Chains A and B, each alone.
Chain A
Amino acid sequence: MDRRSFLKALGVGGGASALAACGLDDNQYYTPVEEVLPYVARPEQVTPGTNSYFATTVGSGPNAWPATAVHRDGRVINVGANRAAPWAGAVPQSALFELQRHFSPDRLTSPTKGGQPVEWTAAVDELATAVKQARTNGKKVVWLGPYRSGALGELLDTFTDGNAIHFEALGREAESKAAQQVFGSPVLPRYDLSKAHYVLSFGASFLSDAWGGPGEQSNYAKARNANHGGYVARFAAVTPMRDQTGANADDWFACKPGSEAQVAMAIAKLVAKKTGKGGPAARAVASADVNAAAAASGLTAEHLTEIAEHFAHGHAVALPGGIVGASANAVELAAATYLLNLVGGSRDTFMGGGYPGKVHGYDDVQKLMAAMKAGQVGVLLVDDADVVHNLPNGADFAAAMGSVPLTVAVTSHPNETTAKASMVLPTHSVFEDWGVEEPVANVYLVRQPGQVPLHGTMGLGDLLLKAWSKAGMGPATSFQAFVKTYLAAKVYAPTPEPIEGEELPAPAPDGEEAPADPTTTQAFARWFEGILQAGVAAPRRMRPVVLTAVGGVTGGKAEPAGSGDKYLIAFPHPHLLDGRYANQPWAQEQPDPMSGQVWDTWALVHPTTAAALGVSDNDTVSITTASGTLELGVEIHPCVHPDVIAVPTGGGHTRATGRYADAVGKNVATVLPAEAAAGGTQVWQSKVSVSKGSGQADLVSTFGHDDERDRGWVAFCSADEFAKKKDEPAPHPGEMTGIHHLELDERLQEKGIQGFYPIPDHPTYRFGLTVDTNLCTGCGACSVACYAENNLPVVGKHKVKEGREMSWIRINRYYKQDAGITKDHGVEGDVSVHFTPLMCQHCGHAPCESVCPVLATYHSIDGLNAMVYNRCAGTRYCSNACPYSARKFNYHTYVWPEPFNLQLNPDVVSRTMGVMEKCTFCVQRLRRTKSAYRDQGFKKTIPSEALEQLVACAEACPSQALTFGNIVDEASAPNFTRKSGRNFIPIADISTYPAVNYLAKASFYFQPGHHGGGGGGDHADEGGHADEGHGGKPTDAHGAEKSHEPAHDEH
């Protein structure tokens, strides 16, 4: 071989082997060869790699809420707002907890009998046989579950022959019973808080998901928001404790437990006197004794007169108790609030036609239990109501289940009750099923699947229909068809009901003969398509139904049962609710808005009571009732009546509920009396004796200090003043407390120099957010939405204790105790509670950016404080430099147990250990929106409307307290609010020029010119100059703070 041939051979051979080596790489990290193939049959409505949105309904009964299921590549990855729905678009946190529940690793995946897997056909056969047998033997077929309205409610009634028990632990039973008593109909009344000027609550948690659903919160926000209103709704709470809802009250009247009904009657009497209204309601309240009520409640007659005066002004609404007011006379209280609303003449805020579905009471469940024990029940279907956990005598219920020949769990997620069932037939989650809900009379919310079922489950409706037809009692049909028929009957072609003056909608399109089954027509198919897109079907205008009293109420004080000198009050856990979300890590890790507690059950104790007991934070107290003793960790809390120990519901589950709920907290229901109250409702209060427990609890709170020490993290303005000015972009007469702006030297100002450094250039966009602290109720929906959107890991109690929760939004809860902002009513040392959601402020002069050695964080041209995870080496210097402490560090690589990983947002990378992260202003959504607008013509900037609720937190916020937008755009919403006199920047004197601005909270006590402790404080600034950082747009020099107090004592 000559030299040339050798080189040729070498070249060819070498090249060939190199090529071969590329394909034969056995390195496992070698990128696999992937082939891109088109679908042969493309799935309908889905484009791979992009989101599809399905209007659907989350929740059930009165808490049903219109939402959109965000579908991506075969799975629902998020829940969005449905703006086509009648209420303002929002995503309540419970909707997101439902999403996590849908992907729960503890979900029931296939039918079992006695723990052994069975086939669906065999299981349905067995159910059908059992139902048939029960019917022939004259035994009852009972379904027990949460409030189910609409199509499923109707189907359940048919299936059980009227023996469907709709029961919820945090339910509306008292209101329904009271409605029966006062109005002669169990249909709940409807409240329209959006028109209220004065909201008087006797304990209803209407600003959380625990009472009334987020619709109330949205409506309250409308009344509270003076940006567009001209008034600010005032909120007074007559309760023995302030939960998260009560924390938002302007006036807290701390009454003794059990006295609320009497107080409500007394107020009603005073209001009736003022308004001079006659009628049955006024007659019913005439016998009330104001002085006796004042004495019983611990308030004064002046307090009651004060409330009555506000109430008599009109546009007022009184809300009943929830479970905080569900003492021995919850029904009386609800009835009294109805009468109060009637005498107050608030027809625009209080009307008939609320939730029309069935609401069963505690007494019904007790009767069912007796029937079960007596062998009168042949088949018991247990839906998503964990009665074994929630009833004080849950163990009895579990025992009674043994007396029923066939107990079937028909839920998607296990709990203590399903663990006792002899057969488990797992149902679809809300994101896999069909349905129609009717939360308010004549408003139908449609549920459609957002994805194919994850597991081998069956929809509850389908299951019932299958068993029904198997038993030979009805035709074989699917639940989807049933839903169509239901909608056709209720909305599409309703049987005309003769209502005077009411215009009925056209039953069917013109020219078509209404066929026997309208659902088979083309026109219906088109109509149904439209309904599915909107997610809501309402056949006619919702006309307020005027209520008149037909019955009265005695309204005496009812002392809670038991003995002891203190009262135990169970209040709804703001996230776990009655415990249904206890196995959802998002719900457990979301701090309690008031105490910051996570992953536990705690006891709220008033400071004076704690001092008397000799306990401090995290010590334990023993709470003893006739039913037992509960030892709980103490959280000292100024927002409870000194005689009250308040404990949240929803804790103390067993492994039956799931791995995350297992042994977390304690179950307060176990120490409550099992006897029903006089009205037949469940009792959530008891007299107790309390003593100091042994040892320390292991409570974990995410909160640091309660007091913001006049550093300018919170601001108050005068509600009256700012209501007059409607938040106009003009110098505002209502100056604020607590805001300090260090002014630049006069010589610099003369030269027009605003700051030391130039402002970053933002030619097209500077994204910004406005947080209205007047609207924020602290509910935490924004934070949960952020977890869902941005793949935030849940770290667990142990790591939260080490301060390592990953939430990008921290909702600071500050107490302000100041004569100028609060007023004590019945309890000494009341505080004003201030919620401030804090996320990355996307500063124009971000201290974090300049200190990062590797440029992992930088200021983008769109005004974002961008964070490049891949570039981050983890010096954590940025976090140290951040004045807002907004950055979170990945201390570990967190894993999502399957199938939680399916929920991860594919647009957002999941971070690994050693990397810093923080709020990105949902940059993935911004990119998507920008691309969409660029596709429409390249030069267009995104219009303001498309941005306002774009970020996940703003989309979720039920109060719409968060408004997003482009500050460069003069017409954008954040730009509008930035000119408001209420606008402030926390710790503005650090001059970071943040993109997140805040609006001051309205106070009814704060008077302009008053500075007691609220402002100035330990600052040396002269004059409160509301300059927007270095924004060059000093609004005005309102607020000449001249009063300075000496530096505060440090502890």
Chain B
Amino acid sequence: MAHVEVIDPNDPGKPNRPDTYGETNRDILRVLLKPSVGYMLGVLLAFTGMVIGGWSWYQQITWGMGVAGITHPTMWGVYIVTFVFWVGIGHAGTLISAILYLVRSKWRTGVYRASEAMTVFAVMTALLFPVLHLGRCWQAYWFFPYPNQRQLWLNFKSPLMWDVFAISTYFTVSVVFFYVGLIPDIAAFRDHSRGLVRKFYGVLALGWRGTHRQWYHYMAAYGFFAAFAAPLVLSVHSVVSWDFAMAPTPGWHSTIFPPYFVAGAIFSGCAMVISLLMPMSYLFDWHKYVNTWHYENLAKMCMLTSGILTYAYGMEYFVSWYSQNPYEQNIFLWRATPTAAYGWAFYLMVFCNCIAPLAWYSKKLRTNHISLFIVAAIVNVGMWFERFNIIVSSLAHNFDPATWWYYWPSYIEWGVLIGSTGWFFFWFLLFAKSFPAIALTEIKEMVEPPVKGSV
């Protein structure tokens, strides 16, 4: 029998590498079998979340934004916090699939497909919020520049407008890149299915036959899209950060925001990839494909970005002191006052984003699945609260002390938050069960080429 070779010199040498193409096919295609009870419960849970979210949104559309907790002067709350959170989550997927592809990082192979799927669904989730948070969401189409009989045009000076372009571009490119990567694998699914399902995959496979010529064009296209998607990792979250940095609001009006947001996005995204892949790997028994090697690399990414974030948090304080701007000083001092309205959120954020990831500096904890999962979950919570701190506390302590007023989300907003999480997991679970969540073809590239009699 063929001996399992260590393909990557950096690979700590996992013996559980798939042996053959056939084995790889069997492992990945296993997802098409009858779903387990656990999986169905997961789908049901996600769907219930969606129903809760839908009901909440229905209430909001019927009665107006007043059912949400937003208040004067804190006009943005959980919706925008969660919007930024999900956009940020998306970034790790593109980073892993595009940038790591371009730099030929081998460990990406096992995780990139699921991360890309995460990107697409995270952006889909994020896209809900700009619509959801509108006072008149039925007018959302006004945000697209199209010639209309009302002779109205858009304000291209507005960061929200830039957002529309940034996010829609990001979504389009992510979907296309994702889909292009999927084509050979869908063809494999097609080849292993029958009846209507085969037709379904057949249409999606776009006539992929795996010919040399197809592979030649495919690889060129994939490289092109990877190069196209790579800058978006930096640009999209920079634009999102401008939603805040471009307004004069103290606590927002800062040039540090773009790199700070990008680092935060990658941080939260990598943590989310750990949070998603680890259960999936256990569920489908894919330890051969996704294992400690990958988790450790993702954890290292988190450690780097956590350091950048910690530096950015500190730098905000330095700048507010150094600028002697009273509004900035107030906002940052107040935010960090333990007894202040949102003091707890600040310290929660510092703990989750700056302190908890320090655990991973220990190799033992970095390679332990339980500690990996716990810290990744903590980071996810922390990154949500980072956006909460930036958005809510800055607005609550605006320029005029006479207007200072505190926001707390209403049950409708919590409902929508649950709904959006349900929406994300609903799509992700459906995907994991009907598409190759691990890149079949790329894994095969790592398997020793078949020799006669080995199958």
Contacts and interface: CB of A to CB of B under 8 A. Distances in A.
Q: Do A and B come from one complex?
A: yes
Interface of A: 703-711, 713, 799, 802-804, 810, 812-814, 838, 847, 850-855, 871-877, 879-885, 888-893, 913-916, 987, 990, 1017-1020, 1047, 1050-1051
Interface string B238-255: 000001001111000000
Contact of B402 (A814, A872, A876, A893): A814
B160 A851 contact: yes
A549 B398 CA distance: 58
Given A709-B330, A803-B405, A914-B136, A851 B65 contact: no
B248 A847 contact: yes
B15 interface: no
A850 B155 contact: yes
Contact of A889 (B72, B398, B402): B72
Contacts of B325: 1020
Contact of B71 (A804, A812, A872, A1019): A804
A812 B337 CA distance: 25
Interface stretch (B29-37, B139-147, B432-440): B139-147
B405 A873 contact: no
A877 B248 contact: no
A803 to B, nearest CB: 4
Contacts of A1050: 330, 333-334, 337, 340
B324 interface: yes
A936 to B, nearest CB: 32
A875 B65 contact: no
B329 interface: yes
A876 B70 contact: yes
Contacts of A990: 248, 399
Contacts of A914: 64-65, 134-137
A1020 B326 CA distance: 9
Nearest to A854: B142
Contacts of B64: 890-893, 913-914
B398 A883 contact: yes
Contact of A884 (B66, B137, B334, B400): B400
B202 interface: no
B66 A799 contact: yes
Contacts of A704: 400-405
B247 A810 contact: no
B168 interface: no
A847 B247 contact: yes
B365 interface: no
A873 B143 contact: yes
Contacts of A813: 402
A913 B135 contact: yes
Chain A CB within 10 Å, residue with most, of B69, B134, B248 = B248
B400 A812 contact: yes
B248 A874 contact: no
Given A879-B72, A916-B135, 10 more contacts: A708-B400, A802-B71, A804-B66, A851-B157, A853-B154, A873-B143, A877-B158, A884-B399, A890-B64, A892-B64
B102 to A, nearest CB: 34
Interface in B394-441: 395, 398-405
Contact of A885 (B63, B72, B142, B323): B72
Given A873-B139, A873-B140, A880 B324 contact: no
B301 interface: no
Contact of A709 (B63, B248, B326): B326
Contacts of A838: 400, 402
Given A803-B405, A853-B155, A872-B136, A1018 B75 contact: no
Nearest to B398: A885
A1047 B73 CA distance: 24
Contacts of B243: 877
B204 interface: no
B401 A889 contact: no
B73 A1018 contact: no
Chain B CB within 10 Å, residue with most, of A708, A813, A889 = A889
Interface in B329-343: 329-330, 333-334, 337, 339-340
A888 B405 CA distance: 14
B200 interface: no
7 contacts: A803-B71, A847-B247, A854-B155, A874-B139, A877-B76, A987-B400, A1050-B334
A739 B148 CA distance: 48
**B: interface residue count bin:** 35 or more
Nearest to A742: B325
Contacts of A915: 135-136
- 7 A-B pairs with least C-beta separation: A874-B135, A914-B135, A891-B66, A1020-B324, A913-B64, A704-B404, A803-B71
B152 interface: yes
B327 interface: yes
A872 B135 contact: yes
A137 to B, nearest CB: 61
Contacts of A708: 400-402
B54 interface: no
A852 B136 CA distance: 14
B173 interface: no
B164 A853 contact: yes
B340 A1051 contact: yes
A880 B326 contact: no
B326 A855 contact: no
A873 B136 contact: yes
A799 B66 CA distance: 9
Interface in B95-148: 133-137, 139-140, 142-143
Contacts of B339: 1051
A987 B135 contact: no
Nearest to B250: A883
Contacts of A916: 135
Nearest to A884: B400
B318 to A, nearest CB: 14
A658 to B, nearest CB: 25
Given A709-B326, A879-B73, A852 B158 contact: yes
A853 B330 contact: no
A875 B324 contact: no
B336 to A, nearest CB: 9
A884 to B, nearest CB: 7
A1051 B337 contact: yes
B67 to A, nearest CB: 8
A186 B63 CA distance: 58
Contact of A880 (B66, B135, B249, B402): B249
Contacts of A877: 75-76, 158, 160, 243, 247
B73 A853 contact: no
A603 B136 CA distance: 41
Given A804-B71, A880-B247, A990-B399, A889 B157 contact: no
A847 B245 CA distance: 12
Contacts of A709: 326, 330, 401
Given A871-B152, A873-B134, A877-B160, A885 B399 contact: yes
B259 interface: no
Contacts of B70: 876, 889, 891
A852 B155 contact: yes
A880 B337 contact: no
B401 A711 contact: yes
Contacts of B161: 853
Contacts of B63: 892, 913
A804 B404 contact: no
A961 B363 CA distance: 71
Given A810-B402, A881-B248, A874 B158 contact: no
A885 B135 contact: no
Given A704-B405, A889-B65, A1047 B159 contact: no
A812 to B, nearest CB: 4
B92 to A, nearest CB: 28
A703 B402 contact: yes
A707 B397 CA distance: 13
B39 interface: no
Contacts of A804: 66, 71-72
B135 A1018 contact: no
